[in-house]
Structures are given as C-alpha cells and as structure tokens.
Amino acid sequence: EVIGCVIYTGTDTRMVMNTNKPRYKFGLVDKEINRLTKLLFVASFVLSMLLVILKGVDGLWYRYFVRFLLIFSYMIPISLRVNLDLGKLAYSWFIQQDKNIPGSIVRTSTIPEELGRIGYILTDKTGTLTQNVMVFKRLKLGAVSYTIENKTKISNLLEEVYKKSGIAANKSQESLVTSTSTKRSIGKNTEAMKVTEAIKALALCHNVTPVLNDSAEIMNEFLSTSDTPKTSVTSLNTTTGSDVLELLPVIAISYQASSPDEIAIVDWTEQIGLTLIHRSLKSMTLKLNSTEQLFDYEILQLFPFTPETKRMGIIVRDENTNEIIFYLKGADTVMQNLVQYNDWLQEESANMAREGLRTLVIAKKQLTQEKYQAFEQNITKARLQTINRSRCVREVIETLECDMELLGVTGVEDKLQLDVRQTLESLHNGGIKIWMLTGDKLETATCIAKSSKLIRRNDDIYIIQQVATREECLQELNIFKRKIGACLVITGDALQICLSFYEKDLMESIIESPSVVVCRCSPTQKAIVVDLLKKYRNKKVRVCAIGDGGNDVSMIQSAHVGIGIVGKEGKSFSSLSCTSF
C-alpha cells in the first residue's frame, strides 16, 4: 500500500539544481608549464628534423631522427613537474600547520600557489564577513521603539494586557485567552495592546521548532518515574502543551530553524515572557512566563518563505476564542504594498537598515470562519492542479495578502567576524580589490560594507538602484565612469538589466573600482558575476570567492580559488576552507 511519495529531494532540490558539477581547477603555473612543455617538444622535433636534413635524407634517416629526438628530449623538463607537485604538497602542509589560521584545510593540492596571484576577492556577507549569530536588537511600532534594554517594560505590558483580559493565574489548561469584548474594553490603540499583538505575531509566525538539549537521560528518568504515562524524550513535539509544561523544570528547550533570524526572534520573545514550548505539524503552544499560563493554537495553513515572494505566512486558530488569524512577515520592499496605508514603514525600515540591522515587517489579518472556509476550498483546488500549480497556489494566497494590519518592524543584528576590519584593510593595502555579493537589502549591505572597512571612510560611493530601460542604464554608466575611483553599490535587478544592454561597458568600468557591493543578489547572479570578472579581467590576475552557505556554492565553483567557511555547506565545494574570514 502506497501512503505517499516524496518528491523534489536529493538532486532535485533547488539548492542542488542551482549548483554546477564540480570542475577540476588548474593553476596558472600548471598551464604555463604545459604550454612550455608543448613548445619544447615541438622545438626538439623541429631540431631533430633539421639535423636529419643537414646530414642527408638517404638510407636509414629515420634512425638518425629518433636518435636526435632522444638526445633533445632532455630539453623537456619532466622532473620539473614532479618537483612542482612535491612543492605544492609542502605548501598545503604549511598552510594547514599555520598557527595564525587554525582549522584551515587545503582540499586540493593543485592550486595553493594561486593564493599569491589573487587580484579580486568576491565574498558573501552573512556568515562570512559576519558571524551569522543573530541578536534581536529592536522592535519598531510606529513612533515607539523598543530595544533589548526595554525587556522589563515589555514584560509588564504583556502582563497588563492579560490581566485586564481576565486571565486567571494558574498552571492548568483552562481557557486563558482574551475575549473579543474584553479586547474592545482595553482598546486596540493602546500601547500595551499594540505590543502584545506584535509579540504574539513574532511568537507564532515562523518555522521554528523547540527541541531538547543534551539532558535526554535526565528527561527519560523523569518520564519513567512520573505518574503520567509517557513514552520517551523524543515525544516532546507530540505531547500536549500541559505535558510539556510539566516537564519544563527538568529540561532545557532550545530552538531549531533554517533561518537564524527566526531563532533570534523566538528567543527574544522567550526572554520577554512569551515562550514557544511545543510545536507539531498541526499545533503550537505558547506559555506566558509570569503566570505559566498556556495558549494553544491550531495551525491551519503554513506558507513558507521563498526567495521569489520574500515573505512567509501562517494561519492559526486560537483554541480558546476560536478566532482565525492570518500572520504575515517579510521584506519591507514587499510588505509595504500589502499593508494598510501608513507614513512610517519605509522611513523606519531604511533607518534601521542604515544601522546595519536586518529588518522584517510583521502584519496580520483577522479572518471570519466563512472567509477562511472559502479560502481553504480555493487553495485545495489550486494544489490539485497538474498544470501551473505553483502559480495557481500563489494567486490564491495573494487574495489574502492585501489590506493587512501593520504590527511593527523588527531589527536583528549580525555581528562582524573578529578582526575582519584589519583583514580587509590589509587586503586593500596589498592591491586586492574586494567585492561583496549579498542577498540583503541595499541599506544593510552598504552599512556592513562601511563598518567592515570594505568601503573606506574617504571612498566615494555611487549607487545604481532603479534602472528599467536602456537609456537609464546608459545614463547611470556614463555618470559612474566620470566618478574615477568611486565604489559601486548596485542591486541585483539593476545589475541584470545593465548586463543585458551594456555588459562589456559595465564590466570594464567596475573592474577598476576599488570595491563593489551587489545587494539583493541571487545565487545564480553570484556565479554570473564571477564568470564575467574572469572574462574581462587581466588573464594573469586570479579571482577568489569566499562563502559559507549553499547559496554561495555556484560562486565558489566558478572562481579560480574557492574558499569555504568550515561548518557550512560551502566547504565541500571549495578548494580551501577555514574557520572564519
């Protein structure tokens, strides 16, 4: 009996299909020696033939030809190839034993000497220049801003709302959530209510799963001695919220998710008093830390984040009030067209991005039972389509993604790697040009480039952001050409349009720029930039790509030298790997 079929896995995943097959990389020295060897072989052949002709082409002339060929064969440096390979092995060993770069691994011994010929370094931002350790820094609600220093104030506002909502302080699974009439009495426009709705959205709209730490043995011992029959520690996500609450005193819960931003946000909601303690495919349970009260939610629909939509959504049903709520979060460039009119979202998002914070906009919409049932029927029908299924599903979801109630904007900080400023400064002084290719928004990428000294204090910056036509592209290029020595910041969309019209002019202009930042850049575009740089640069100057994630694999493979950060997906496709930038 066939229960189901798993598709789009393994080699059919987006990440693998986005990468090319690993290619064997030759160093420039190897190519020069091969060329020299071929030249010497031709020279020995010609000399042998010339001497045979001078001696006279009669009798057994071919014996003399072979004899001369063997004599001149010593011109071909066969031993040089062996000595060079031994030297490369020695270089690789010295690199791995260098105490100044501990943890470094040379995965191929054919190109270590290429490190001395590098003229361009193309690097990712998140996890490469930065530590990929996200820390929640700010929650912006209109004119009001809350930082990590305001945790006590936010916790008090949460308690205020739930106390006024008539929630009784006990540890059971009784009805614990606000009624609609009580919400009206509090007033939706009060500060406490706005904060509570935003925190609740952050605690619910994500793909985070609570997991156990290394206390499984203690946990299993507790389960075996508990009066309540339970099976094992692995059943945390299949138990009810009250079961998890009973176990919390003896275990420590951590969070797992594909996005470190989401983990940072959920961890922050726990710190201020609203903890995610249970999640399954169909339900979630939150706990109010101050009263240890539980809030159960049924997950009705989940719309994962995709690079195309740049947002994710979730529809949940409050188990106590039976309210159905659609939560949505995503990039400000997308969300500003989906939320109700406001006069602060775009400005505040730009301000936070200029501080180097990664921003996310959160919004919600209340759904009636009738509206949700109609939506469920439509999306079920769309998911059964055999042609253009993804487009049909997207169109149905977009019917809900309009006139959303804006709740707030979050700011998450990704700290720079240790000594990254000194490293980039040394590379600049060595005449190496550094480019940063990132998927972050323009303001965030520019801020990180400045703070890391990729763009130095006295450097001029020219930004190409909104380009739609050939004329606009030509105008931007002409202006940039006149700004001699300026650093370029360009978006992925603008780069694609400029390359389609003026590929050669653009590349010849930016190759001379001291630093280039490409933001909102897709993995495919990263590889295209590397290939174009290899095409238009000085052929003796080598290109190095550094990255840490699956979206950097194509770039690492395309470069002459690929460096992967150890512990991430990119290392397995790299020529060399190290622990940090």
Query: Taking Cα atoms as reference points, which of 411, 403, 359, 406 lies closest to residue 201?
Result: 406
Give residue 222's pLDDT. Answer: 45
Q: What is the DSSP letter of 3?
A: -
Question: Who contacts 499 (Cβ-Cβ below 8 Å, separation ≥6)?
Answer: 506, 528, 532
Lowest-pLDDT choice from 39-43, 124-128, 400-404, 527-531: 124-128
Q: Which long-range contacts (CB under 8 A, 24 or more apart) does 29-34 make?
A: 29/84, 29/113, 30/84, 30/110, 33/77, 33/80, 33/81, 33/84
Residue in the structure block whose two tokens are 């001497």: 51
pLDDT score of 270 more than 70: yes
Question: Who contacts 156 (Cβ-Cβ below 8 Å, separation ≥6)?
Answer: none
Give residue 236's pLDDT. Answer: 45
pTM of the model as a whole: 0.68
For residues 129 and 414, give the distance between their C-alpha atoms in angstroms, rounded to a whole number: 10
Query: Taking Cα atoms as reference points, which of 569, 563, 567, 548 lies closest to residue 107?
Result: 563
| Residue % of the chain over a pLDDT of 90 | 12
Please answer whether residues 412 and 357 qualify as being in contact, where contact means their C-beta atoms are separated by less than 8 angstroms: yes
Give residue 216's pLDDT. Answer: 46
Question: Who contacts 123 (Cβ-Cβ below 8 Å, separation ≥6)?
Answer: 129, 434, 435, 436, 437, 545, 546, 547, 581
Segment (H or E) for 472: helix 470-482
Reported as a single tens digit per residue, the pLDDT across 20-45 is 666 677 778 888 888 888 999 999 99
| Residue % of the chain over a pLDDT of 70 | 84
Give me the active site residues, please: 124
Spell out the domains of the chain, with CATH numbers in brackets. Answer: 105-129+417-580 (3.40.50.1000), 132-163+190-213+252-413 (3.40.1110.10)
CA angle, corner 546, sides to 309 and 441, nearest 5?
30
Question: Who contacts 38 (Cβ-Cβ below 8 Å, separation ≥6)?
Answer: none
